[in-house]
A = this chain, B = another copy of it.
Amino acid sequence: MRESFEAPALRIIGIPGIPEVKAGDNVADLIMENFELYTNDVVVVTQKIVSKAEGRVVALDPNRSAEEQIEELIRSESRRILRQRGSLFITETNFGYVCANAGIDQSNVPEGTVALLPRDPDRSARRIRDRILAKSTKRVGVIISDTFGRTWRQGLTDVALGVAGIAAVVDLRGVPDANGRTLNATQIALADELAGAAELAKPKGGRVGAVVIRGVSSEHFRESSVAEELLRPYGEDLFR
């Protein structure tokens, strides 16, 4: 019987204590004030925190229909509408991410406001990564996560909206399987799996806006981008 500590293992650790974030707050500093990071940690930050820090919370005009204003925002944040049913839109955002309602939502923001996605989530991730490196000398990966609905499957999972310093996709093409044959499942969406794993350490409804994953293989730490690696180009999709 092997003891578990001999086996390969990762840890997923919620960072408690991050206060309510306001426009202009420095997300990297808030994380470092509440948690001691190490090189090769992956820090997963929820989109909502980043949007708030970047001032992407928009007040709705109380004298106009909220639904109408949200629809205008969805359209201005999107470059393509794929489907619409009632007030649900599936769109491609201006940076190429396909999701519901251009990622605009009203949870965990003040009454009468909505949060938009960061304008360039990969850049937002790089900024956090660079600040952590500059202040602490720790070289971490950063993922900005978003809650994402899927075709064909119920329920939501967190996926990577932006990434820095950690592979968005791990390419195993050419790696042999256990029988020496080339692997079929050859490109692993590592950053999406890390984002989903991070969600497991968040209490429901709670304010754990950042999670650290420790034990990710050091070979996966490199320059990367969700836009270039994870978002499938328009013409290559069978369902768009």
Contacts and interface: CB of A to CB of B under 8 A. Distances in A.
Given A7-B15, A172-B204, A193-B199, A237 B152 contact: yes
Nearest to A238: B83
A73 interface: no
A147 to B, nearest CB: 4
Q: How big is the A interface, by class?
A: 35 or more
A107 to B, nearest CB: 4
Contact of A13 (B9, B153, B176, B189): B9
A62 interface: no
Contacts of A185: 105, 107, 147, 156
Contacts of A159: 153
Interface stretch (A22-30, A108-116, A122-130): A108-116
Interface in A160-208: 168-170, 172, 175-179, 181-185, 187-190, 192-194, 196-197, 199-201, 203-208
A155 B4 contact: no
A216 interface: yes
Contacts of A68: none
A105 B182 CA distance: 12
Contact of A238 (B151, B187, B201, B203): B151
A64 interface: no
A13 B215 CA distance: 10
Contacts of A34: 1-2
Contacts of A183: 107-108, 204-205
Contacts of A33: 1
15 contacts: A1-B34, A1-B35, A9-B201, A10-B197, A12-B197, A83-B239, A108-B181, A109-B179, A151-B240, A155-B229, A172-B205, A175-B204, A178-B206, A192-B196, A200-B216
Given A4-B11, A183-B205, 7 more contacts: A7-B14, A9-B14, A10-B197, A98-B153, A151-B232, A154-B231, A197-B197
- The 6 lowest CB-CB distance pairs between A and B, nearest first, are A155-B189, A197-B197, A107-B184, A98-B152, A193-B196, A147-B185
